[in-house]
A = this chain, B = another copy of it.
Amino acid sequence: MDTENQTETNSECDLTSKSCSTPNEYDGTKKAQSEQEQRLTLKMNKIRHKIAVISGKGGVGKSTVTVNLAMAFAMQGHKDKVGVLDADIHGPCIPKMLGLKGQTLIGGPGGMLFPVTGKLGMKVVSMDFLLPNDEAPVIWRGPLKMKIIQQFLSDVTWGDLDYLLVDLPPGTGDEPLSVMQLIPDMDGVVIVTMPSEVSEAVVKKSVTFAKQVGIPVIGIIENMSGFVCPDCGAKIDVFRAGGGKRIADDMTIPYLGSIPLDPKICNDSDGGLSFIVENKTSPATKAFLEIVEEIEQFLEHKEPSEKPAKPKST
Residues of chain A at the chain B interface (Cβ within 8 Å): 1-2, 4-5, 8-9, 12-13, 16-17, 19-20, 56-61, 63, 89-93, 96-97, 134-143, 145, 169-174, 177, 180-181, 194, 196-198, 201-202, 204-209, 212-214, 227, 229-232, 234, 236-240, 251, 261, 263, 266-267, 269-270
| Given A135-B207, A177-B5: A198 in contact with B269 (beta carbons within 8 A) | yes
Q: Which of B5, B139, B212, B240 contacts A139 (CB 8 A)?
A: B212
**Is the CB–CB distance between B97 and A198 below 8 Å?**
yes
15 additional A-B pairs beyond A1-B213, A57-B58, beta carbons within 8 Å, are A5-B181, A12-B12, A12-B142, A58-B58, A58-B59, A58-B169, A134-B202, A198-B266, A229-B231, A229-B236, A230-B234, A231-B232, A232-B234, A238-B261, A240-B267
Please, which residues of chain B bring their CB within 8 A of the CB of A213? Answer: 1, 4, 139
Q: How many angstroms from the CA of A230 to the CA of B267 in the assembled complex? A: 23
Instruction: Identify A9's interface contact among B16, B93, B232, CB under 8 A.
Output: B16
Cα A206 to Cα B139 in complex, Å, equals: 10
Contact B90 A173 (CB under 8 A): yes
Which chain B residue has the least Cβ–Cβ distance from A13? B17
Shortest Cβ distance from residue A193 to the other chain B in the assembled complex, whole angstroms: 11
Q: Which residues on B sit within 8 Å (CB–CB) of A135?
A: 204-205, 207-208, 251
The answer on a CB contact under 8 Å between A208 and B1 is no
The residues of B that contact A232 with a CB separation of less than 8 Å are 229, 231-232, 234
User: 10 closest pairs, A vs B, by CB?
Assistant: A59-B59, A58-B58, A90-B171, A231-B234, A137-B205, A142-B142, A197-B270, A232-B232, A13-B17, A91-B202
Say whether A141 contacts B177, CB under 8 Å. Answer: yes
Q: Chain B residues near A236 (CB, 8 Å)? A: 229-231, 263
CB < 8 Å: which of B60, B91, B205, B230 contacts A134?
Answer: B205
Determine the distance from Cα of A12 to Cα of B20 in the docked complex, in whole angstroms: 12
Give A23 Cβ to nearest chain B Cβ, in Å.
Answer: 14
In the assembled complex, which residues on chain B have CB atoms less than 8 Å from the CB atom of A230?
A: 234, 236
B-chain residues with CB within 8 Å of residue A17 when the two chains form the complex: 9, 12-13, 17, 20
Complex Cα–Cα for A251 and B181 (A): 39
- With A12-B16, A137-B208, A232-B229 as given contacts, are A170 and B170 in contact (CB-CB < 8 Å)? yes
Q: Which residues of B contact A251 (CB under 8 A)?
A: 135
Min CB distance A100 to B, Å, is 13
CB–CB B91/A205 < 8 A: yes
Asked if residues A180 and B1 are in contact (CB atoms below 8 Å), the reply is yes
Most chain B CB atoms below 10 A, which of A92, A142, A196: A142
Residues of B within 8 A of A169 (CB): 58, 170-171
